[in-house]
Amino acid sequence: MNDIIRTLVESFGPSGCEDRIRAIIRELVEPCVDEVRVDALGNLIAHKRGTGTGKRIMLSAHMDEIGVIVSYIDEKGFVRVQPIGGVNPMLEIGGRVQFESGIVGVVSYSKLPNGAQVPGFDQLFIDVAASSRETCPVKVGETGCFLQPMIEVGGHLTSKAMDDRIGCAVLIETLRQLGTTPHDVVAVFSTQEEVGLRGATTAAFGVAPEVGIAVDVTLSPDTPEPGIKMAVGLDQGPAIKIKDGGMIATAWVKDWMIATAEANTIPYQLEVLVGGTTDARAMQTTRDGIASGCLSIPCRYVHSPSETVSLSDVQNAVKLLVAMLSAVCPAN
Ligand code: CO
Ligand code: ZN
């Protein structure tokens, strides 16, 4: 699975610019499903037909990653950017940004305003070795994302885009391993999640599922003095979401996840996340309401260039989803 994960996490795809990552995912899922289509918002929708005795189940993992968009080039050719999604400028300093055209620049910052402790986007600049606005190889409106190869240390995988390419990897691997299923499984690789669940919002309406399950990362505050009290850590199994900042998981969907994990002795954790939300919110609140839940991959340093997950948590997430989708669900 590591090769697929590496391919996915090292690809380019900030919100609104998912064409390249979508083409990669399309090639990987096409052999495992009955049909694949792309909707107007760019969501990739892969449908595996069931035997007809189950539910219509939408799975969703977002393809997009956080990044930047060029808002201004100054007279000396330094590139100024605005964030796409929740980017912390402090975490980008000293790193590199790759733009759509392939050009790579170095991120640094100018003098902080009086009283400021950390730089904001107004102080951030990207050096692409240009000497003037006219000769700058990067243009206003171009997007960029952070450039970091994936590393693998002690069973942990680190990259700039675990959020949420690791969820995409889980869906792809689930589709690969899933044999005959009672359910009509519709796997959506959604767009523009990081700017407000926009892809999943239209995809959920279009797919009109009976059950929605998102796969996304959640915080793993098992690091020195994290400052939040949350019972989630790496290497202890995927986290079954109970609640986050935008959704309370539908009770029977959450219970279905727990019962399946127990029955198959798959390790799991229970997640109560204070802020943030996932595509599950968009699914749950579409149409006249859809029973929805979320399976989370615990992730340290979310929205940094070194998002870190545990490979065993990822593998156990696949196991759990395959087990869930292989049998009829409790609401049948
Ligand atoms: Co995110
Ligand atoms: Zn995410």
For 217-266, write each residue's pLDDT tens digit. Answer: 999 999 999 999 999 999 999 999 999 999 999 999 999 999 999 999 99
In angstroms and rounded to an integer, the radius of gyration of the C-alpha atoms of the chain is: 20
Q: Hey, which residues are catalytic here?
A: 193
Residues, CB-to-ion distance under 5 Å, ligand 1 = 163
Q: What is the pLDDT of residue 261?
A: 98
CA of 63 to the centre of ligand 2 (A): 9
Beta strand pairing call for 269-272 and 79-84: unpaired
Structure tokens, 208: 């009109």
Query: To 10 degrees, the CA torsion angle through 171, 192, 214, 45?
Result: -50
Sequence-distant (6+) residues with CB within 8 A of 188 are 43, 44, 45, 46, 58, 59, 60, 61, 199, 200, 203, 204, 207, 279
Q: Which ligand is nearest to the CA of 195?
A: 1
CA of 266 to the centre of ligand 1 (A): 26
Q: What is the pLDDT of residue 250?
A: 98
Q: Which CATH architecture has domain 2-65+160-325?
A: 3-Layer(aba) Sandwich (3.40)
CA of 50 to the centre of ligand 1 (A): 31
Q: What is the pLDDT of residue 332?
A: 65
Say whether pTM exceeds 0.95.
yes
CA of 106 to the centre of ligand 1 (A): 23
Beta strand pairing call for 143-146 and 151-153: unpaired
For residues 42 and 330, which has the higher predicted lDDT (pLDDT)? 42
Q: Which ligand is nearest to the CA of 165?
A: 2
Share of the chain above pLDDT 90, in %: 97
Residue 170 in contact with residue 157, Cβ under 8 Å?
no
- The ranges of the chain annotated as CATH 2.40.30.40 are 67-146
Reported as a pLDDT band with limits 50, 70 and 90, residue 292 is very high
Half-sphere exposure of 46 (CA within 13 A, CB side): 25
Q: pLDDT tens digit string along 53-109? A: 999 999 999 999 999 999 999 999 999 999 999 999 999 999 999 999 999 999 999
- The ranges of the chain annotated as CATH 3.40.630.10 are 2-65+160-325
Q: Which ligand is nearest to the CA of 217?
A: 2
CA of 111 to the centre of ligand 2 (A): 32
Reported as a pLDDT band with limits 50, 70 and 90, residue 331 is confident
The CATH superfamily holding the domain 67-146 is Peptidase M42, domain 2 (2.40.30.40)
